[in-house]
Amino acid sequence: MELVVQFQVLNQSCQCLAWKPQPVIAWGAESQHVVAGYSDGTMRVFSISRTEMELKLHPHTTALTAVTYSTDGEMILSGSKDGLVAVSSPRTGMTIRVLADHKGSPITVLQCTRKQYHDFGVEGGEIWLATSSDRRVSIWASDWLKDKCELLDWLSFPAPAGPKGLSSLPPSLAAFCPWEPGTVVYVGFGLQKEALFYSLRKKQVVEKISLPYFATSLSLSPAAPFMAVGFGERLLRLLRCPASDVQDYAGHDDAVHLCRFAPSGRRLLTASHSAVLVWELTGS
């Protein structure tokens, strides 16, 4: 529990960050990299082992709101406040593609996963999704080495008129389901307080799980069928899916705006305004 390394960028706010995926080989210090997105539209790649900034990119003109690496770590996907998604190479520093499908609404989530489905009829080594705050989710199949990027599906979730501006509404969040290949889980402001499981094969919602409030954060365990959902009411809910076992925890001092399962699935990190909690899952 010690501070190991710290990077500072003056006069800019860090809005999002992502770790570079580790190679299949044994853990090596040389591959410890993190990319961070900033309020001026820039990204910076930092080497943890060398404690230095290796690369600065400027793919956006507005603040970054989401960033992630491709599954092989060869590309960086970034989303901005104006809804643009950029694909950049950390090797060359060049932006190779800009997607404007979500233009006009801030990107809230970017996630990549290795393509493990053979019945979509498209080429590519991975599929990825982009979610924007207007309750839209796009799913793509990509092969970056061949400069291929194809839209697989486009989801729009209805909602009543918000009582206030869009910035006050709960976020739109989506994630690939690790234990149900070809399924996307979505939470957001809508007609009901619920988590929706959408099948990319069947092109329809196949399961709904009721929630006590609109979600402010979401994470799915990569190791077991567990889903963590945070709420603005200082509540954390842990569900075993299908929702046969539900546990609520009230240890936060404010809205639970972040949930993250560890890769092992044995620990869960949650964050609120002034607290970061680490939970250990027993018997999972």
Region 139-147 average pLDDT: 90
pLDDT value, residue 19? 93
How many residues belong to the chain? 284
pTM of the model: 0.91
CA angle 155, 157, 159 (to 5 degrees): 165
Interval 194-218 mean pLDDT: 95
Q: Write out pLDDT tens, residues 48-59.
A: 988 999 999 999
β-pairing, 126-132 with 136-143? antiparallel
Comparing 40 with 118, the larger pLDDT belongs to 40
Whether the predicted pLDDT of 160 surpasses 90 = no
Q: What is the DSSP letter of 224?
A: S
SS (H, E, C) 15-75: EEEEECCCCCCCCCHHHCEEEEEECCCCEEEEECCCCEEEEEECCCCCCEEEEEECCCCCC
- Mean pLDDT to the nearest integer, 192-202: 95
Q: Is the pLDDT of residue 236 over 70?
A: yes
Q: What pLDDT shows up at residue 25?
A: 52
Q: Is the pLDDT of residue 65 over 90?
A: yes
**Alpha-carbon 253 to chain mean position:** 24
Mean pLDDT for 63-76 is: 96
Statement: residue 166 has pLDDT above 50: no
Q: What is the mean pLDDT of residues 75-85?
A: 98
Residue 235 near residue 254, CB atoms below 8 Å? no
Average the pLDDT over 245-253 and give the result: 90
Q: Rounded to whole angstroms, how far apart are CA atoms 78 and 67?
A: 4
From 58, 156, 63, select the one nearest 102 (Cα to Cα): 156
Q: Which amino acid is at 192?
A: Q
The tokens of 256 are what?
């639970």
| pLDDT surpassing 90 at residue 77 | yes
